[in-house]
Structure 1
Amino acid sequence: MEDFETVPSIPSPLETMQTLGFDYSVGALVAATLFGIIGIWLFRKGRREAHLPNVAVGVGLMVYPLFVTSTLYTWVVGTLLCGIAYYYWP
């Protein structure tokens, strides 16, 4: 019999994401989804009413979860941005 070379295994999507530096937990994904929905709502409301702070905070809420992987920091930053939106509410 001939010796066949073993084919290297294909990494799972989770392993691929972890090697690229994306190590999200379930809590961080839930927080990102929640704050993303709030961000879309604030962005649309701010554009409709021409209120720049709502637009800026809405964009911030939609974008920041892409750069924060820690669950605690995701909740803290999202809560702070929602507090800023509440402070500047017209």
Structure 2
Amino acid sequence: MDEFSQPPSPLELMQSLGFDYSVAALIGGTIFGIIGIYLFRKGRRESHSPNIWVGVGLMLYPLFVSSTLYTYVVGALLCGVAYYYWS
């Protein structure tokens, strides 16, 4: 390493590791993750397994989807599934 070279910025480091998220995707993932936590806790409290599994899905899918469009589409679909099974 050259004595005058700068270490990579956190953004450059994340992009080199394959994480290329936009701010809108991060905000959407956060919103859907919070909804997932709510559904998971409600499902555990009421012993309602569809709420538990949809909640887990809402919490985990943003980790694997980096596209903003897919983040919102998958989140809306999972919220639709939760609404369908709501009891």
TM class by shorter chain equals: over 0.9
Q: Which amino acid in structure 2 is aligned with residue 84 of structure 1? A: V
Gaps of 5+ in 1: none
Which of 29, 49, 52 in structure 2 is aligned with 1:52? 49
Q: Which amino acid in structure 2 is aligned with residue 44 of structure 1? A: R
Counterpart in 2 of 1:20? 17
Q: Percent identity?
A: 72
Which of 9, 17, 22 in structure 1 is aligned with 2:6? 9
- The separation in 1 between residues aligned to 2:3 and 2:83, in whole angstroms, is 59
Q: Which amino acid in structure 1 is aligned with residue 9 of structure 2? A: S
**SS where residue 8 of structure 2 aligns?**
coil
Gaps of 5+ in 2: none
- The separation in 2 between residues aligned to 1:27 and 1:6, in whole angstroms, is 37
Count of aligned positions: 86
Which of 68, 72, 75 in structure 2 is aligned with 1:75? 72
**SS where residue 44 of structure 1 aligns?**
helix
Counterpart in 2 of 1:31? 28
How far apart are 1:10 and its partner, in Å?
Answer: 0.3
Q: Normalization by structure 1: what TM-score?
A: 0.92
User: Rg bigger for which structure?
Assistant: 1
Q: Which structure 1 residue ranges, 4+ long, deviate > 4 Å from structure 2?
A: none
